[in-house]
């Protein structure tokens, strides 16, 4: 067999193999994407329920972690505003400073932290510090709620 014929066969078979590999990768990617749909729908339902609960309680300003803050602002169409705090409850990564300014100016702002550390990162896992801070508050100043895997401390004094 001539070298040119061998080279032609190698090119044809390698092209077919690459095309088949790309097709398999695309099919696997599509299956993975479709398998994630129920999880995403459940997460959206939880977020919408949280927004509804906060709005029904009259809570519009609160401090929370980075990952929760901006999705809640966006999904609520800015009816809810939050300030981002890190795991020590200090301001951190507030992409749009006026939001934090508004929340800080409201002396009745609430606190919201995910109960599940997997919902955020170590840098923003604020629940432990929040629980410690609230333990030092006068009785009746804040009321604790648990809503959709979040802990909410709502300001109660007038």
Q: How many CB atoms lie within 10 A of CB 18?
A: 10
112: pLDDT confidence band, cut at 50, 70 and 90?
very high
Note the pTM of the prediction, 2 decimals.
0.79
pLDDT at residue 43 in the model: 85
Q: What is the mean pLDDT of residues 130-157?
A: 94
Q: What is the mean pLDDT of residues 72-87?
A: 96
The mean predicted confidence, pLDDT, of the chain is 93
pLDDT at residue 96 in the model: 95
Question: Would the pLDDT of 44 be above 90?
Answer: no
Sheet holding 61-64, edge to edge: 81-84, 61-64, 110-114, 150-155, 142-147
Question: Would the pLDDT of 158 be above 70?
Answer: no
Q: Which residues contact 114 (CB under 8 A, 6 or more apart)?
A: 65, 68, 120, 125, 127, 149, 150, 151
Percent of the chain with pLDDT over 70: 99
């Amino acid at each position: 067999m001539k070298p040119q014929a061998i080279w032609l066969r190698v090119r044809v078979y390698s092209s077919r193999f690459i095309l088949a590999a790309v097709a398999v990768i695309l099919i696997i990617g599509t299956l993975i994407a479709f398998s994630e749909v129920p999880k995403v729908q459940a997460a959206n339902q939880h977020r919408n329920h949280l927004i509804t609960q906060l709005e029904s309680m009259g809570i519009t300003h609160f401090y929370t972690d980075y990952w929760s803050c901006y999705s809640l602002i966006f999904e609520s169409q800015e009816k809810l505003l939050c300030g981002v705090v890190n795991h020590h409850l200090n301001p951190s990564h507030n992409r749009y400073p006026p939001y934090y300014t508004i929340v800080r100016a409201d002396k009745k702002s609430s606190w919201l932290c995910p109960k599940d550390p997997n919902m955020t990162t170590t840098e923003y896992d604020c629940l432990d510090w929040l629980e410690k801070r609230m333990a030092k508050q006068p009785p009746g100043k804040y009321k604790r709620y648990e809503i959709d895997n979040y802990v909410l401390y709502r300001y109660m004094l007038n």
